[in-house]
């Protein structure tokens, strides 16, 4: 049975994850601890030594310390954690949006790595890897018994280094041996296409390249459809787990002429940072109508974008309740190239509302039915369901989140179909088009 998991060759893309990140500014120095705190630390040191000396099997010191640190951070909230050197490097790869690899999108099926598609003009495509191929061996090692992440880890690596893949291909009478030389793979953070008279843009995550990819998508859509024929745009933020705060601000700014986008508020009541759109005469899509799609997989940075554009009445939001992650994680570099991911602030929409534990409520709710093979499974995702989450100021018993599912075939995508029908005037709703004069602002 196919596992519903797909990874690009970054090793560990952010994917549709509840643990999405919005990175803030560097943290400040810690305050000095009191004498009672040092007594407690002495108890910890005593326990650590007793475990090392008396546990039934010799424990790994590094693992003991890392688990103790993560235990402390996990007691704070679900998004604070310690990253060792390898994990910190993976995080940097994710946010950079490029990596040394082969350039294929893969999943796991029948205990083998199945190629969903090779990315155009990448080492894998040039070497002859095809969609539907099964990777049975990596450098002579059997794939069976490995997890998808383990297999991906083996296939990524330094640029200009070779890797040998043993491939099973339908119609071939024997395995195919291919040698692929790794190269820099640039992951597109924005996928786009033209649906006759509508421009469709899907932001998969907020990496360092998201805004540039978005601008490229807008320009290409404008070239394909004359301005007088273009009905509008759909911005798809479903299954988008978030990413970089500055990219969320830049993306929001692209569709605004003025106004506050988001504010962050830290521990100190005076610690408030506001991010505003740059004043301009016309936005990047020439004021064309736009609909934003969200669901339970829309979290963090994607909620910043949806919340800003909704409050300022620039777009109509369609779909189901978003995830509700309204916290900011600061990445603090540590020794030996590790890092501390620590929740340091909460963010608020232009109306002054906290998304934490609540999420973005769509202007028009459109549910997406699950296919027969997924019915009966709980695909609901929400911050309010996470153990130990920070309770949001606007969180209610209803909580946040909804089903995190998008059909692979656009013909089955009821939320997208509804959005396109609104843009073409085939459906009407009081929420569309929105009235900018009724923007909801924090007074």
Structure confidence at residue 9 (pLDDT):
31
According to DSSP, the residues that pair with 177 across neighbouring strands are 166
Distance CA 40, CA 23 (A): 31
What CA–CA distances, in Å, run from 197 to 22, 225, 365?
34, 7, 24
- Tokens for 359? 């999420």
> pLDDT tens across 293-322, in order?
999 999 999 999 999 999 999 999 999 999
Structure confidence at residue 431 (pLDDT):
96
> pLDDT tens across 2-61, in order?
333 333 333 223 322 323 344 444 444 556 667 888 899 999 999 999 999 999 999 999
Pick the closest to residue 187 from 101, 302, 126, 245 (CA basis): 101
Mean pLDDT value across residues 326-343: 90
The verdict on whether 188 is a catalytic residue reads: no
The verdict on whether 311 is a catalytic residue reads: yes
Structure confidence at residue 12 (pLDDT):
29
Q: Which of 325, 384, 400, 431 is catalytic?
A: 325
Structure confidence at residue 6 (pLDDT):
32
Please tell me whether residue 127 adopts helix, strand or coil conformation. helix
Residue identified by tokens 């509008």 is 232
> pLDDT tens across 98-137, in order?
778 898 888 888 889 999 888 778 899 999 999 889 999 9
Pick the closest to residue 274 from 324, 213, 349 (CA basis): 349
> pLDDT tens across 139-188, in order?
999 999 888 878 888 898 888 999 999 999 988 899 999 999 999 888 78
Does residue 89 contact residue 74 with C-beta atoms inside 8 Å? Answer: no
Q: What element of type H or E holds 119?
A: none
Structure confidence at residue 32 (pLDDT):
63
Distance CA 36, CA 39 (A): 5
The verdict on whether 300 is a catalytic residue reads: yes
Cα 375 from chain centroid? 25
Helices H, strands E: what count in the chain? 9, 24
Q: Which of 20, 252, 300, 322 is catalytic?
A: 300
Mean pLDDT value across residues 401-412: 93
Distance CA 301, CA 211 (A): 13
Please tell me whether residue 214 adopts helix, strand or coil conformation. helix
The answer on pLDDT for 422 being more than 50 is yes
Q: Which of 253, 311, 363, 394 is catalytic?
A: 311
Structure confidence at residue 104 (pLDDT):
86
Does residue 262 contact residue 350 with C-beta atoms inside 8 Å? Answer: yes
Structure confidence at residue 143 (pLDDT):
93
Please state whether beta strands 364-365 and 316-319 pair in parallel, antiparallel, or not at all (unpaired). parallel
pLDDT exceeding 70 applies to what percent of the chain?
92
Pick the closest to residue 342 from 97, 94, 72 (CA basis): 72
Does residue 186 contact residue 177 with C-beta atoms inside 8 Å? Answer: no
The answer on pLDDT for 401 being more than 90 is yes
What CA–CA distances, in Å, run from 369 to 74, 361, 379, 382, 394?
34, 19, 11, 18, 28
DSSP string, 27-87: PPPPPPPPHHHHHHHHHHHHHHHHHHHHSSSPPPHHHHHHHHHHHHHHTT-TT-EEE-HHH
The answer on pLDDT for 216 being more than 60 is yes
What CA–CA distances, in Å, run from 347 to 161, 173, 309, 353, 391?
43, 58, 15, 9, 13
């Amino acid at each position: 049975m196919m596992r519903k998991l797909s990874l690009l060759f970054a090793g560990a893309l952010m994917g549709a994850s509840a643990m999405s990140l919005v990175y803030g500014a560097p943290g400040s120095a810690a305050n000095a601890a009191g004498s009672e705190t040092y007594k407690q630390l002495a108890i910890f040191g005593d326990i650590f030594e007793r475990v090392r000396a008396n546990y039934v099997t010799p424990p790994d010191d590094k693992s003991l310390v890392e688990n103790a640190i993560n235990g402390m951070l996990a007691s704070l909230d679900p998004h604070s954690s310690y990253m060792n050197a390898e994990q910190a490097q993976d995080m940097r790869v994710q946010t950079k949006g490029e990596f040394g690899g082969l350039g294929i999108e893969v999943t796991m099926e029948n205990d083998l790595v199945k190629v969903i598609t090779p990315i155009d003009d990448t080492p894998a495509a040039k070497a002859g890897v095809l969609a539907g191929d099964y990777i049975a061996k990596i450098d002579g090692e059997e794939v069976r018994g490995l997890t998808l992440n383990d297999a991906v880890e083996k296939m990524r690596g330094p640029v200009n280094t070779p890797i040998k893949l043993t491939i099973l291909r339908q119609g071939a009478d024997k395995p195919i041996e291919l040698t692929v030389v790794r190269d820099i793979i640039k992951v597109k953070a924005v996928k786009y296409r033209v649906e006759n008279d509508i421009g469709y843009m899907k932001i998969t995550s907020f990496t360092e390249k998201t805004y540039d990819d978005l601008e490229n998508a807008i320009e290409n859509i404008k070239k394909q459809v004359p301005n007088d024929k273009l009905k509008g745009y759909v911005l798809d933020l479903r299954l988008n787990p978030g990413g970089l705060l500055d990219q969320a601000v830049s993306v929001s700014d692209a569709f605004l002429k003025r106004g506050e986008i988001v504010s962050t508020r830290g521990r100190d009541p005076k610690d408030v940072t506001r991010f505003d759109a740059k004043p301009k005469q016309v936005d990047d899509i020439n004021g064309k109508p736009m609909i934003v799609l969200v669901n339970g997989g829309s979290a963090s940075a994607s909620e910043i974008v949806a919340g800003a554009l909704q409050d300022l009445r620039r777009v109509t939001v369609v779909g189901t309740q978003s995830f509700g992650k309204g916290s900011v994680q600061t990445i603090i570099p540590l020794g030996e190239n590790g890092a501390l991911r620590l929740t340091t602030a909460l963010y608020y929409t232009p109306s002054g509302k906290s998304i934490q534990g609540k999420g973005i409520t769509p202007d028009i709710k459109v549910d997406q039915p699950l296919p027969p093979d997924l019915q009966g499974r709980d695909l609901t995702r929400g911050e309010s369901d996470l153990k130990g989450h920070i309770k949001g100021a606007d969180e209610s018993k209803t909580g946040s989140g909804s089903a995190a599912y998008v059909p692979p075939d656009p013909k089955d995508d009821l939320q997208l179909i509804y959005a396109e029908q609104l843009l073409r005037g085939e459906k009407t709703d009081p929420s569309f088009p929105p009235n900018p004069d009724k923007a909801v602002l924090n007074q």
